[in-house]
Amino acid sequence: MTTTALKGQTVAPNLMGFTLPVTAAFGAFFGLLAGQATGAGALLGIIVGAAAGAIIAYVLVTMLPYKTGRLTAIAAIGVLGLLIGGMIGLIVGVLSGAALGWCAYWVHTGRYRASMPPYATAGQVLWHNTFKFICGAILFFLIAPIVTIIPLSFNAENFFTFTPEMLSLDPAGFSLKHYRDFFTNDDWLRPLKNSVIIAPFATIISVSLGTLAAIGLSQSHVPFRRAIMAILISPMIVPLIISATGMFFFYSQMGLFMENTFGMSKSLSGYIKVILAHAALGIPFVIITVTATLVGFDHSLTRAAANMGATPTVTFFRVQMPLILPGVISGALFAFITSFDEVVVVLFVGAAAQKTLPWQMFTGLREQISPTILAVATILVIVSILLLTTVELLRRRSERLRGLSPT
Amino acid sequence: MTDTSNSGPVLAADGRPLKASLNRALRRQKLRAMLLIAPLLIFIMITFVVPIGQMLFRSVENQIVSDVLPRTTQMLVEWDASSGDAPDNTVFAALTKDLMVAVEKKQHTRLGSRLNYETTGVSSLFRKSGRKVDDMGEGYTDQFVALDPTWADPVFWADLMEAPSAADALPQTTDAYNAFASTIISEDEKDPRAEQPWHTVYLSLHQDLTADPAADVSGLPAEVAAAQAVAGGFASEDLAASYIKIDKDWGTVETWQTIQTYSPKFTNGYFLNAVDMQKSPDGAEWRPEDQQIYLTLFVRTMIMSMTITISCILLGYPVAWLLANLPMRQANLLMILVLLPFWTSLLVRTSAWKVLLQQQGVINDIVVWLGLVADDNRLALINNATGTIIAMTHILLPFMILPLYSVMKTIPPAYLRAAKSLGATNWTAFWRVYFPQSVPGIGAGSILVFILSIGYYITPEIVGGTKGVFISNRIAYHISSSLNWGLAAALGAILLAVVLLLYWAYDRIVGIDNVKLGG
Amino acid sequence: MKLTTTLMASTAMVMAGTSAFADAHMASEMTIVSWGGAYSASQKAAYHDPYSEANGVTIVNDESSAEAVAKLRAMSEAGNVTWDVVDVVAADAIRLCDEGLALEIDFDTQLANGDDGSTASEDFGDLLVSDCFIPQIVYSTTAGYRTDLVGDTPPTSICAMFDLEAYPGMRSLEKRPINNMEWALLCDGVAKADVYDVLETEAGQSQAFAKLDTIKDNVVWWSAGADTPQLLADGEVIMGTTYNGRLFALIEEQNQPVGMLWDAQVFDLDGWIIPTGLSPEREARALDYVKFATDTQRLADQAMYISYGPARASSAPLVGQHATLGIDMAQHMPTDPENAKNTFLYNYEWWADYRDDLDAKFQAWLSQ
């Protein structure tokens, strides 16, 4: 293994001596799992798996081109799985076939070290790939709950349970009824509407006030800087349940004041209360992100702008703002999420008319567990994937337009 | 820019001394900075700091006892608990007067709930006594009225109490009558001139007349002098016995001791309670072992938050490194995976962990299916500390990855290569060159994760079982179920103090400006 | 204060200018607070809708009953009570009444007489556990078990909960001392009549904890009513306690393999309170609503939607069939003679005294 890896890519070496053992080891691993699962025994599984891995590797890399080869591997092991373990076997077979096929080509064509410099040692290559694998596992950990809730949201039953029907992929186990429930039930649509109203307003308030204050704080001579910073960050520090009860008194009196003095309707003053409460909770995140961006900000730029006759407002919007925009945006993201996912404070400060999505989920989980919650979550995930992808595509487009090469 | 003449102070362009000019510029700069900060500072002060301050103030506030039982608490100052006897009838008389008003204002049960936090049984003691207190002292009323029916006349009473010398001659009576009059006016909107006074007024009259049989009542109607002459011979009523008949707890030293201990307007009792101690006549002492819980929870909250922070560092560091070192396009795609959990409600993610981790859950099903563990020996991954750590690490991981990423983004890869080309091993190059530069990111992420995790309570409540719950869960319980807000505030204040201490230490060591959250 | 006012004013103006989502505030609107889920749905069908129809009042349903005690106290301190009628369990009602946060009711004059001519206080009888509390339903905390996981002899007694040999596996109990302590003593040989006397002593409390200790490692502690049904459906526990209505839904509506164990069910009450500090016209309307919603027929109607027993004796004969499933509801009521052979009454007065103390001990015991 060491010698083959060291040779690099200058000459095309015969890697068969490397490919076969690696793929066989890989196959042995799958075989072990399959042997355990089917009850055939670990040893038998390892032997069969290793043999299958070696055969596949040999067949694929010597006889078949990449695409056909991978499809063949998937089909072959998939069918094998189907014969042994039925529907589940098919899935497991297809997955392990895909993995084995990929492994064979990945090792054989030397792509496993494609991103490494040619002089990298075998140990470095091994570590590099292990590292990538670890990162993959962590990223999987991050999205594992999401991967779980998506199939569960199609559950035909009213529980968070993978029923036997679902596991055997029986269509009777699946249904769209929770989605139907979400789209037809006012108990869910109203909270959705409320969340969509409250979160952006709260974000706007915390971002605008927070950015101004962060700019102020970044000036060189600010008296009581530490104390001010501590106060501004305090909403993040105080345990939420204490904040919620404490804020209740203030907002309750403020609500009365607004209703009596301005003749506001209860529902309007209710929205204002929740928006302000959420804005206060989001501010620490904006302060932290924007101050961090401003640390590296070159103040001679604003002086240069002023020197050339720009008013402070123009300087702010045309010079400073574009430069600190990334910090502002990520602060805004945190502030938005804080409001969009906040349940404790809104439980206290809000009234029925301001019920937000997390609140509805909270009562849902407490009073009757229903996968409608999962359907909502799935929809939100899909929407956010679309949003984030769009943002990324737009970024690439503007990059292209500006003539920057992707780095 | 300035005229550098050789004599006098250096002058600015406008002819002022440069020093003054610079000072003015500095002041202007400070003012501008403050103006920028002011809106937010005022906003946070008003909408957050003041309300939270008020809330935390409850941790020492204890006015209810002396407000509801003003006379009793005053009398109790002189009572000595170590005598082993319950107070005498004068204290019970004061209690009757206080309770009479409290019952009308419906405050006695509230006081009962307050004192029940300290001594079990006080709640029903006050509730039961409140129902019967209006009979207390009836014997005196009957005897005064039997002596002279005028004593039953409300108008006579009102006139008597308006007499200028009444307050001096009959201090207790005046006090009791005023309490009666103001209470029925405010609570029942009745006219004192049309209502016969409560028995407590007669009780006080008897006390006044017997306390000093030679007191000067010459400025008062003749009925007073007549009563004064015979009051000493009235059959006295044993109030203590009547109370003990309602509930034997009135006869125990413990009940009275509780009232005495908690009569000051401010108390450290909640704070003592929050660290598993209690007030006793001999000062603070530990609570019985079977009631000690809060210190355990504080320590557990700290240890678990630290574990969560460390696991976030361990999991977040490689991912952040990968994101920072991949080409922008791939990094942004992977970033979506990091941000995605953010868009899934915390409640949903926690429930999803439940589905994954429980004994009949996905992970256990898979390992059992693979034969890695036996079916009757499934892994306990939830309803314990493990569950809390897994779920919270997942929830807080993005808060670690994003600051780390933004710091790592700024570390030039050339440093690492330079180190290696100078002969450093991979490990040395990383540990001595790269890692120190990424420390601000670790610091920022850690402080975020640690502070956020200390205050969480919904996730531990759902997945924590008994060994994985935090102090915040108890705070939430005392706020929403037991209504013991004083204790909740004390627990919250301690937690806040710990966090502020950490924040201060962090600010000293790393500097809060170095906190970066992506961007 | 002036600064506060100015700031509030300016913020409010800005917000008023930017907001386009104000609904017209209905003059005849009342906010009723309840638990949410199927329970609120049953109240809507049985009480809210007929009342709105008859009186033209819009009823807003606020699902905050779980936070009601804390929120009502905060509202009252802030001087801005926005709720008109609140649905709470009896223990909370007693607490609210003690705190002076709930209005005292004169049952005979302010509530309707029973259909059989009895006065309200006769009709409700012993269920009037607090001066502020108008009972609505009798529910019980009782146990359910997985019929397919408990072997051939399904449990018939609550003591099966403590019998790990006959019924190995996990069970779920509520994360609070109430009910669990009583069951532990009952299953440790204490006579039903003596339970609270024993529990009052240190030795009795240790006895209860010792009994609970025997199953501590096999218990999943729940805090939300929906937990046990989910745990039973998953097969995560083989038996567990919850409210009887949740088990009814699990068995009859979701068709899960779960059986009902009515033995030693603990009766509890849920009902209305009216907050103090309402304006006279709001208070009058709240009283009017409560009078309507707790009459004999209305209480019997609620049982069509959920399997909780009406609190009035006179409503029992009127209980009919489930509105959608069409099954006879009487036999699913906790108060049905067949189910109520062995019941246990929650001692409100006792728990009001001992709750703080025992809760501290219970939490300490849990975390050991």
Task: Tell me the pLDDT tens digit for each residue of B56-85.
Answer: 999 999 999 999 999 999 999 989 888 888
Query: In this structure, are residues B274 and B292 in contact, taking their beta carbons and an 8 Å threshold?
Result: no
User: What is the 8-class DSSP label of residue C250?
Assistant: I
In a domain, B224, yes or no: yes
- Verify that B441 and B462 share a domain, yes or no: yes
- Verify that B255 and B392 share a domain, yes or no: no
Closest CA to C135 of C356, C308, C13, C355: C308
Quickly state the pLDDT bin for C83 (edges 50, 70, 90). very high
What are the C-alpha distances in Å from B197 to residues A190, B134, B193, B222, C256?
57, 11, 9, 19, 66
Instruction: State the Cα–Cα distance between residues A269 and A251, nearest whole angstrom.
Output: 10
Burial of A43 (0-12, 13-18, 19+ CB in 10 A): exposed
Q: What is the CATH number of domain C28-138+269-335?
A: 3.40.190.10
Mean pLDDT over each residue of chain A, to the nearest integer: 84
* Contact (CB<8Å) B394/A145: yes
What are the C-alpha distances in Å from B504 to residues A243, B285, B507, B510?
21, 31, 5, 10
Q: What is the pLDDT of residue A14?
A: 66
Quickly state the pLDDT bin for C177 (edges 50, 70, 90). very high
Quickly state the pLDDT bin for B7 (edges 50, 70, 90). low
Ordered by start, the domain boundaries in chain C are 28-138+269-335, 141-265+342-367
> What is the DSSP annotation of B296-347?
HHHHHHHHHHHHHHHHHHHHHHHHHHHHHHS-HHHHHHHHHHHHGGGGS-HH
User: In this structure, which amino acid lies at residue A194?
Assistant: N
Instruction: State the Cα–Cα distance between residues A374 and A360, nearest whole angstrom.
Output: 12
Sign of CA dihedral B191, B195, B201, B206: positive
Quickly state the pLDDT bin for A2 (edges 50, 70, 90). very low
Q: What is the pLDDT of residue B97?
A: 94
Of A157, A159, A188, which to mutate for an interface test with C (greatest number of C Cβ within 10 Å)?
A159
Question: What is the arithmetic mean of pLDDT over A341-368?
Answer: 88
Of A175, A208, A367, A370, which to mutate for an interface test with C (greatest number of C Cβ within 10 Å)?
A367
**Multiple choice CATH, C141-265+342-367, 3.30.70.270, 3.30.750.200, 3.40.50.300, 3.40.190.10:** 3.40.190.10
Coil, helix or strand at residue C320: coil
Minimal Cβ distance to A248: which of C9, C78, C79: C78
User: What does R_g of chain A's alpha carbons equal in angstroms?
Assistant: 29
State both tokens at C290. 């409560």
Question: What is the arithmetic mean of pLDDT over B245-267?
Answer: 92
Q: What is the pLDDT of residue B487?
A: 94
Of B481, B484, B487, which to mutate for an interface test with C (greatest number of C Cβ within 10 Å)?
B481
Coil, helix or strand at residue B120: coil
Q: Which residues contact B428 (CB under 8 A, 6 or more apart)?
A: B419
Burial of C165 (0-12, 13-18, 19+ CB in 10 A): exposed
Q: Which of A39-48, A154-163, A389-398, C124-133 has the highest mean pLDDT?
A: C124-133
- Verify that B381 and B243 share a domain, yes or no: no
pLDDT of B102 > 90? The answer is: yes
- Residue A342 sits at the vertex; the CA angle it makes with A340 and A345, to the nearest 5 degrees, is 135
* Contact (CB<8Å) A262/C79: no
Helices B362-369 and B346-357 pack at an angle, to 10 degrees, of: 30
Quickly state the pLDDT bin for A116 (edges 50, 70, 90). confident
Return the percentage of chain A with pLDDT > 90, whole number. 20
Residues of B in contact with A243 (CB under 8 A): 48, 52
Closest CA to B29 of A299, A272, C206: A299
- The reply to whether C13 touches chain A by the CB within 8 Å rule is yes
Query: In this structure, are residues B259 and B73 in contact, taking their beta carbons and an 8 Å threshold?
Result: yes
Quickly state the pLDDT bin for C21 (edges 50, 70, 90). very low
- Verify that B331 and B428 share a domain, yes or no: yes
In a domain, B18, yes or no: yes
- Verify that B213 and B362 share a domain, yes or no: no
Query: In this structure, are residues A34 and A99 in contact, taking their beta carbons and an 8 Å threshold?
Result: no
> What is the DSSP annotation of B14-72?
TSSBHHHHHHHHHHHHHHHHHHHHHHHHHHHIIIIIHHHHHHHHTTTB-HHHHHHSHHH
Backbone angles phi, psi at C188, to 5 degrees: -105, 20
In a domain, B281, yes or no: no
* Contact (CB<8Å) C359/B484: no
- Verify that B179 and B121 share a domain, yes or no: no
Q: What is the pLDDT of residue B44?
A: 93
Query: In this structure, are residues C114 and C314 in contact, taking their beta carbons and an 8 Å threshold?
Result: yes
Backbone angles phi, psi at B411, to 5 degrees: -90, 115
State both tokens at B88. 């005498």
The number of domains in chain B is 4
Q: How many residues does chain C have?
A: 368
Quickly state the pLDDT bin for B443 (edges 50, 70, 90). confident
* Contact (CB<8Å) C79/A253: yes
More confident position, C166 or A62: C166
CA distance B110 to chain C (A): 4
Quickly state the pLDDT bin for A404 (edges 50, 70, 90). low
In a domain, B223, yes or no: yes
More confident position, B2 or C259: C259
Minimal Cβ distance to A326: which of B319, B352, B519: B519
B383: left (phi > 0), else alpha (psi -120 to 50), else beta? left
Instruction: State the Cα–Cα distance between residues B473 and B160, nearest whole angstrom.
Output: 58
Instruction: State the Cα–Cα distance between residues B360 and C237, nearest whole angstrom.
Output: 9
- Verify that B41 and B101 share a domain, yes or no: no
State both tokens at C149. 């996981």
Burial of C45 (0-12, 13-18, 19+ CB in 10 A): middle
- Verify that B50 and B182 share a domain, yes or no: no
Residues of C in contact with B270 (CB under 8 A): none
- Verify that B191 and B340 share a domain, yes or no: no
CA distance B33 to chain A (A): 4
- Verify that B74 and B42 share a domain, yes or no: no
Mean pLDDT over each residue of chain B, to the nearest integer: 88
Question: What is the arithmetic mean of pLDDT over C326-352?
Answer: 89
Q: Are strands B277-280 and C309-310 parallel, antiparallel or unpaired?
A: unpaired
Terminal Cα distance for chain C, rounded: 49
Question: What is the arithmetic mean of pLDDT over B503-513?
Answer: 73
Question: What is the arithmetic mean of pLDDT over B411-438?
Answer: 89
Q: Which of B271-285, B364-378, B423-437, C202-216 has the highest mean pLDDT?
A: C202-216
- Verify that B344 and B441 share a domain, yes or no: yes
Q: What is the pLDDT of residue A161?
A: 84
Q: Which residues contact C167 (CB under 8 A, 6 or more apart)?
A: C145, C150, C151, C155, C160, C238, C239
Minimal Cβ distance to A267: which of C22, C78, C230: C22
Query: In this structure, are residues C154 and C259 in contact, taking their beta carbons and an 8 Å threshold?
Result: yes
* Contact (CB<8Å) B512/A293: no
Question: What is the arithmetic mean of pLDDT over A305-309?
Answer: 88
Ordered by start, the domain boundaries in chain A are 2-114, 186-370
Which of the listed residues B36, B57, B78 is the one where a domain comes to its end?
B57
Chains in contact with A via at least 3 Cβ–Cβ pairs below 8 Å: B, C
Tell me the pLDDT tens digit for each residue of B135-187.
898 999 999 999 999 999 999 999 999 888 888 889 999 999 999 999 999 98
Return the percentage of chain A with pLDDT > 70, whole number. 95
Q: Which of A122-131, B231-240, C100-109 has the highest mean pLDDT?
A: C100-109
- Verify that B226 and B244 share a domain, yes or no: no
State both tokens at A19. 């490919």
| Residue the block writes with tokens 């200390």 | B454
Quickly state the pLDDT bin for A403 (edges 50, 70, 90). low
Instruction: State the Cα–Cα distance between residues B405 and B518, nearest whole angstrom.
Output: 6
* Contact (CB<8Å) B455/A210: no
What ranges in chain C are assigned the alpha helix state H?
2-18, 37-43, 49-55, 68-78, 90-98, 107-110, 120-124, 180-186, 195-199, 202-213, 227-234, 244-248, 280-293, 296-302, 348-367
* Contact (CB<8Å) B348/A149: yes
Closest CA to B122 of B66, B65, B75: B65
Coil, helix or strand at residue C145: strand
Per-residue buried b or exposed e for B71-94, using 16+ beta carbons within 10 Å of the residue's own CB: bbbebbeebebeeeebbebbbbbb
Mean pLDDT over each residue of chain C, to the nearest integer: 89
Instruction: State the Cα–Cα distance between residues B169 and B76, nearest whole angstrom.
Output: 24
**Residue B168: which domain range?**
137-231
Question: What is the arithmetic mean of pLDDT over A120-135?
Answer: 88
Tell me the pLDDT tens digit for each residue of B446-473.
888 898 898 888 899 889 888 888 999 9
Q: What is the pLDDT of residue C228?
A: 94
Query: In this structure, are residues B466 and C221 in contact, taking their beta carbons and an 8 Å threshold?
Result: yes
Tell me the pLDDT tens digit for each residue of A236-260.
888 788 888 889 888 888 888 888 8
Tell me the pLDDT tens digit for each residue of B396-405.
998 899 888 8
Shared fold status for C28-138+269-335 and C141-265+342-367: yes
Minimal Cβ distance to B461: which of C4, C223, C235: C223
Query: How many contacts, defined by CB atoms under 8 Å, are there between A and B?
Result: 306
Minimal Cβ distance to A255: which of C24, C31, C80: C80
Chains in contact with B via at least 3 Cβ–Cβ pairs below 8 Å: A, C
pLDDT of B38 > 60? The answer is: yes
Residues of A in contact with B373 (CB under 8 A): none
Query: In this structure, are residues A46 and A25 in contact, taking their beta carbons and an 8 Å threshold?
Result: no
Q: What is the CATH number of domain A186-370?
A: 1.10.3720.10
Minimal Cβ distance to B496: which of A143, A237, A289: A237
